[in-house]
Structure 1
Amino acid sequence: MSSLGLPKDYGYCVLIAADSVLVLIYLGIRVGRARKQFGVEYPKMYDDDKPIFNCFQRAHQNTLEHYPQFLSMMLLGGLQHPRLSAAFGAVWVLSRLFYAHGYYTGDPAKRMRGAWGGIGFLGVIGCAISFGLNLLEYI
């Protein structure tokens, strides 16, 4: 246990959380660059005439749609399973780059190059469920 009462290895979860923020910043920068490249002005989220821009926007938006669930499950599950939660978290974070770069090709089907991130997502959910059951003394 750390001086804060957290598992010593919880730092791995904190580092993956920080890394995930860097990935979100990277994806946001890519959308900003795509706006300039394809001439999509603010406040338009999508442009029917610029489907490739929409792929950049969707890659970022989809990550944001899943991010609160991912982060909360990883940080909660990490309280009992810090290394496992961090490992699953790293899988999810890395997969988002493959997902985005597949989408950036302009062929939305290629976003599935990052589908293996589902393993990380389910893994952090499993760690959080285990933590909850342990708190309730069911396991």
Structure 2
Amino acid sequence: MTAIVIPSEYGYVLAVAVASTLHLFSIGFKVSGARKAAKVPYPYAYAERSEAEKDPKKNIFNCAQRAHQNSLELFPIFSTLLLVGGLKYPQLSAGAGAFFLLGRMFYVNGYVSGEPSKRMRGIWGMFGIATLLGTSCATVYHLLSN
């Protein structure tokens, strides 16, 4: 039977996990501000396409909303890989997680500019996810092979 020993460096992993939640909150604030500026009432998730094509504020709101939604879609994947990979490779996983979050910041800032193509400025952050996939697979392999 293999015991799981949490290394002291796992604190770095947890710090990145907490930072990722703060990042999600910050995007939520961007959406809220853009919603108010665009005057898109609740419960509507997006401005209509015809409105967004005419009103730059509504377009920015849609872009902010989509950047937030995309981040929420990736969050469970990121969190799982970060927390699993960090059990065996805490420093590498924390570094990869921080790299991913930095890329997400560029992604979100590019998207909320109102020009969706600018989101691609942060696509390099996905190398962090790829690294986390590797550390997670290696951790699982290590646990199952002992």
Give me the whole-angstrom Cα distance separating, in 1, the residues matched to 2:43 and 2:105: 25
Aligned-residue offset at 1:104: 1.1
Give me the whole-angstrom Cα distance separating, in 2, the residues matched to 1:5 and 1:77: 13
Q: In the alignment, residue 15 of structure 1 is paired with which amino acid? A: A
Residue 133 (structure 1) aligned to one of 129, 135, 141? 141
Give me the whole-angstrom Cα distance separating, in 2, the residues matched to 1:42 and 1:72: 32
Partner-residue secondary structure (3-state), 1:44: coil
Partner-residue secondary structure (3-state), 1:55: helix
Q: In the alignment, residue 88 of structure 1 is paired with which amino acid? A: A
Partner-residue secondary structure (3-state), 1:59: helix
After TM superposition, the score normalised by the length of structure 2 is 0.89
Give me the whole-angstrom Cα distance separating, in 1, the residues matched to 2:145 and 2:132: 20
- Asked if 1:68 is matched to 2:76, the reply is yes
Aligned-residue offset at 1:19: 0.5
Give CA deviations for 1:24-79 in whole Å, capped at 9, x if unaligned.
00000000000100111111111121222110101111000000010011000000
Match of 2:128 in 1: 120
Partner-residue secondary structure (3-state), 2:47: coil
Match of 1:15 in 2: 15
Aligned-residue offset at 1:95: 1.1
The structure with more radius of gyration:
2
Aligned-residue offset at 1:136: 1.6
Aligned-residue offset at 1:5: 3.7
Runs of 4+ in 1 over 4 A off after TM superposition: none
Give me the whole-angstrom Cα distance separating, in 2, the residues matched to 1:18 and 1:81: 18
Q: In the alignment, residue 12 of structure 1 is paired with which amino acid? A: Y
Aligned-residue offset at 1:11: 0.3
Question: Which segments of 5 or more consecutive residues in structure 2 lack a partner in the other structure?
Answer: 52-57
Give me the whole-angstrom Cα distance separating, in 2, the residues matched to 1:89 and 1:39: 35
CA RMSD of aligned residues (A): 1.3
Give me the whole-angstrom Cα distance separating, in 2, the residues matched to 1:59 and 1:107: 12
Count of residues paired in the alignment: 135
After TM superposition, the score normalised by the length of structure 1 is 0.93
Q: In the alignment, residue 19 of structure 1 is paired with which amino acid? A: A
